[in-house]
Structure 1
Amino acid sequence: MPEIELPITTERLILRRFEAEDLERFHAYQSLPETARYLFRNELSKTQSMEVLGRYANAKFMHEGDWACLAIERQDRPGLMGEIVLKWLEGTGQAELGWILHPEGRGQGIATEAAEAVMKLAFGQLNFHRIDAKLDALNTGSAGICKRLGMRLEATLVDNWHYKGQWATENIYAILDSEWRARQKGA
């Protein structure tokens, strides 16, 4: 699989590698309980943010199981707005998509625009067959993003996840490369 060429630009965004200068804004949203609400982990300490940012900045996307975590920045306003993640699922020709935004970036279509760019990369240059997104069923904001991306709800797994002391229902949204290509032709 080819190396991902960065940055990726869209109408409003730049998707790029993380840099050391991103630490303060990265920690600003990663340390919030509201950011960690639908994640399998709690909010990050400053030290944990430094460790995670270092992994993201140095990650390679060359083999099954690898993650590409890209920083999201607006073209008209420098500064980290969030992250978009593509995970290469093992043995399948498939990938998983995810996103986290700084509170300042929520509700502006930024996650949708970044995800569309990553889907274009995944189905085009990287030649994946299927992309899914796995969400806590209570995460209605991310469910709305999935629907705007043309993803369909494929499965609801009741009380499938146990995290933060409670059971949660998992919704799986997905789109095939053929469905994505048909949407692009119709757009």
Structure 2
Amino acid sequence: MTGPVHPPYPVRRERFALRPVRVDDLDAVHAHRSLPEVARYLPHEPHTREMTADTLGRVIAGESLAEPGNWLDLAVEDASGRVVGEVLLKRDEQPLTGEVGFAFHPDVHGTGIATEAVAVTLDIAFDSFGWRRIVGICNVENTASAALMRRIGMRHEAVWRKESYAKGLWNNFQQFAVLDSEWRTSPPPSADERAIDGVARAFFDAFTRRAGEPVDLNGARRVLAPNAVIERVAEDGVVHRTDVDEFLAPRATLLNGPSLTDFREVEAAQTTIVAGERAVRTAQYFKYGVRDGEEFSAWGRKVMQLAVSASGDWLIETLTWTDEPEPAAMS
């Protein structure tokens, strides 16, 4: 087989350049692949130097993408020439299809370089390689990678529950995709949609507890309308309604108590519909943590009805949710 036609490398932009990794990139690539925070949502532990060297050897051998399963690993150099991350393209078994992956040093998180570099890499795949479809896969808990793929216009397609067992846990993944016909034609999220994304993120983040640290639920209170109605649909279909204080008080007690020492909820899939100054946000969410010393996880759904307040902010007026039964622990 022959590989696709590659553009002249490096591909340069104002803040970075992309070019295939080289053997002499070992130290720079290992600097981020060896970090626990980079490997956190990957199926392997932080790389040893030998693991990084082996990975570089394999991707360099297949960088022409001559065979399905080959990876092209593009080093991302910042303006100083330092390698600050990688964007990878995998040739799929299906014709003109592939997969994108990425890993960046924490030094550039929040700078926009990762988002720009991944977008330029998709330009290469569609414009130079002639690919027709690209997917991206990440752990459901990896909200940063999911947000990046949404920002560049990839569609959320699927959630795979307990797709693989690694690091002593069943892992849940989600898939994003974009077609060549969609690339650059999908309108970016509106200002209202971005604002509602922020409201949902603030609400879910407010309930996060790490390593027994105290939790302040004012973040959730700020995005709830003062007279908001909260509804929980029980397993038997009975709807339990509370106001904001009745909803937050027992959760503050639980999250700051000795039993639930770690907890997080993340949106795995969501849809937002905006109509004037009102909106509906539906979400499938995944919650996980440590309770009484044991790890647990479960799924649920939330529906938020939002409206623009007198101050011009989007606030949640009604929140309805239902939890699925927790799965039995793996023996």
Q: Same fold (TM over 0.5)?
A: yes
Aligned partner of 1:112 in structure 2 is 115
Per-residue deviation, 1:63: 2.9
Mind listing any 5+ residue stretches in structure 1 that lack a counterpart? none
Q: Give yes or no for the alignment of 1:55 onto 2:58.
A: yes
Question: SS state of the match for residue 175, structure 1?
Answer: strand
From 158, 176, 181, give the equivalent of 2:179: 176
Contact 1:66 1:88 survives alignment (8 Å): yes
Q: Which secondary structure state, in structure 1, belongs to the residue aligned with residue 67 of structure 2?
A: coil
SS in 2 for 1:77: coil
Query: Secondary structure of 2:181's match?
Result: helix
Which has the bigger relative contact order, CA under 8 A and spacing at least 6?
A: 1
How many residue pairs end up in the alignment?
A: 183
Determine which of 74, 85, 102 is the counterpart of 1:70: 74
> Which structure's residues are more often strand, by fraction?
2
Does 1:23 pair with 2:26?
A: yes
Question: What is the TM-score with the length of structure 2 in the denominator?
Answer: 0.52
The CA deviation string for residues 91-123 of structure 1, in whole angstroms up to 9 with x for no partner, is: 242110010001112111111111111111111
In structure 2, C-alpha distance between the alignment counterparts of 1:79 and 1:61, rounded to whole Å: 25
The 2-side partners of 1:174 and 1:37 are apart by 23
- Whether 1:126 and 2:129 are equivalent positions in the alignment is yes
- Equivalent pairs: percent with the same residue? 36
Which whole-Å CA distance do the structure 2 matches of 1:51 and 1:169 have between them?
Answer: 27
C-alpha distance in 2 between matches for 1:119 and 1:79: 22
Measure, in 1, the Cα distance between the counterparts of 2:99 and 2:139.
Answer: 15
Q: Please state whether the residue corresponding to 1:62 is helix, strand or coil.
A: coil
Task: List per-residue Cα deviations over 1:51-86 (Å, max 9, x = no partner).
Answer: 222333443222322210010011x22211010000
Offset of residue 183 of structure 1:
3.9
- Which is richer in helix? 1
Report the 3-state secondary structure (helix = DSSP H, G, I; strand = E; otherwise coil) of the residue aligned with 1:169.
Answer: strand
1:138 aligns to what SS in structure 2?
coil
Q: For the residues of structure 1 that align with 2:65 and 2:8, how far apart are their CA atoms?
A: 11
Q: Structure 1: how far apart are the matches of 2:70 and 2:177?
A: 19
Partner of 1:9: 12
Asked if the contact 1:56–1:70 (Cα under 8 Å) also holds between the matched residues in 2, the reply is no
Give, in angstroms, the shift of residue 4 of structure 1.
4.4
SS at match of 1:114: helix
Higher mean alpha-carbon deviation, 134-143 vs 41-50, is at: 41-50
Residue in 1 that maps onto 2:162 = 159
Q: Which has the larger radius of gyration?
A: 2
Q: CA deviation at 1:181?
A: 4.1
Contact 2:20 2:72 in 1 (8 A): no
Q: SS in structure 1 opposite 2:128?
A: coil
Aligned to 2:103: 100
Separation in structure 2 between the aligned mates of residue 129 and residue 80 of structure 1, nearest angstrom: 29
